[in-house]
Amino acid sequence: MRKAIEVAVGLLARREHSVQQLNQKLAKRGFDEPAITSALASCQRLNLQSDTRFAEATCRSRIGRGYGPLMIKQLLQHEGVASDIIERVFEEFNQDIDWVAEVSSVWVKKYRVYDPEDKARQKQWQFLRYRGFDDATIRAMFQTLEAESHNY
C-alpha cells in the first residue's frame, strides 16, 4: 500500500490543491488522520502545497472562465482557504485586473450587442450577479456601454 505522502505528491503533481481538498482526498483513499496530518505537514514543509498558490491559480483560472470576485472568493472559502490569504491574493489581483472590463467581456460574450431600449436589463444584471460580479461593477459596465452607444 502506498504511503499518504506519495499519494499527496501525486495529486499535487497534477494541479494545486488546498489543504482541505488534500485532506478529503486522502481520507477517501482510506488513510487515517495521523498519516494525513503527517503527509500534509511534509508537503507544506517541502513547499509542495500552498494555499496561497492554490488561491492564485484558482483566481487566474476562474477569471479566465468569466467569473467575478464574489464567486471566486466564495469558492475559495468553500475550499477551506483562510480569509487572510484570500484578501491578500485579491489585493494583488485587484492591482492588475480591471473588473469592469472583465464583466464587459462576459456580457459581450453572452449578449453580443448593447441595445439601450432592451427591456431584459434586469435579467442580464442577474446573470452577471450570478457570475460573481457586484452591483457597482455591473452598473459601471452598463454606464460605459450606454456612453459608447451614444458615440455611434
Cα 111 to the center of its chain, rounded Å: 23
Cα 66 from Cα 131, distance rounded (Å): 7
Condensed to tens digits (0 to 9), the pLDDT of residues 35-56 reads 999 999 999 999 999 999 999 9
Q: Is the pLDDT score of 152 beyond 60?
A: no
Amino acid letter, residue 43: C
* Model confidence pLDDT, tens digit, residues 99-123: 999 999 999 999 877 776 777 888 8
- Cα distance between residue 20 and residue 26, in whole Å: 10
Residue 4 CB contacts under 8 Å (≥ 6 apart), including other chains? 26, 31, 35, 36, 38, 39
